């Protein structure tokens, strides 16, 4: 969803990553009566896509609300947004079918390579036997 750079921020549902350095400003701002925080996720350094110094917020604005300086800009959140992983680009999950396909392809390539190697050794042995 698009970044929203309007001030005041219009009513709607939004998400944002807040750097630790800006957290105090943002936490003070979310106390506004027109702001409802739906979810907050603090990185404990365990998310590969969020630095340990960030927190993710999903919030809703009921009335036009002045946006604080120094915290970046929020993104409009669609109805499918419920957690930080919903908004982070990542590859699609690998299915069991894809894993099985990869195993078969890898085994097939290995078998072809083994057969080619065996054939080469056999040809060398035959040629050496003919020389004698």
Q: How many CB atoms lie within 10 A of CB 14?
A: 23
- Domain segments of the chain as ranges: 12-86, 91-132
Alpha-carbon gap, residue 40 to 52, rounded angstroms = 14
Phi then psi dihedrals of residue 102, to 5 deg? -60, -40
Residue 130 predicted with pLDDT over 80? no
What's the pLDDT at 114?
Answer: 63
Q: Is the dihedral of CA 25, 28, 31, 34 positive or negative?
A: negative
**pLDDT tens by residue, 11-67:** 999 999 998 889 999 999 999 999 999 999 987 555 555 556 789 999 999 999 999
What's the pLDDT at 95?
Answer: 74
Residue 16 CB partners (closer than 8 Å, separation 6+) = 26, 56, 57, 59, 71, 72, 73, 74, 75
What's the pLDDT at 5?
Answer: 93
Give the helix ranges, DSSP H, for the chain.
23-29, 96-131
What's the pLDDT at 50?
Answer: 55
End-to-end CA distance of the chain: 76
């Amino acid at each position: 969803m698009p970044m929203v750079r309007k001030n005041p921020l219009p009513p709607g549902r939004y998400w944002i990553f807040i750097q630790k350095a800006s957290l105090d400003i943002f936490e003070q701002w979310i106390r506004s009566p027109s702001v409802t925080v739906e979810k907050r996720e603090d990185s404990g350094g365990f998310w590969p896509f969020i630095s340990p110094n960030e927190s993710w917020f999903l919030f809703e604005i009921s009335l036009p609300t002045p946006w604080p300086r120094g915290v970046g800009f929020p993104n409009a959140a669609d109805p499918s947004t419920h957690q930080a992983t919903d908004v982070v680009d990542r590859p699609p999950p690998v299915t069991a079918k894809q894993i099985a396909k990869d195993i078969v392809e890898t085994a097939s390539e290995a078998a072809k390579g083994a057969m080619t190697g065996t054939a080469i050794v056999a040809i060398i042995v035959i040629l050496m036997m003919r020389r004698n």
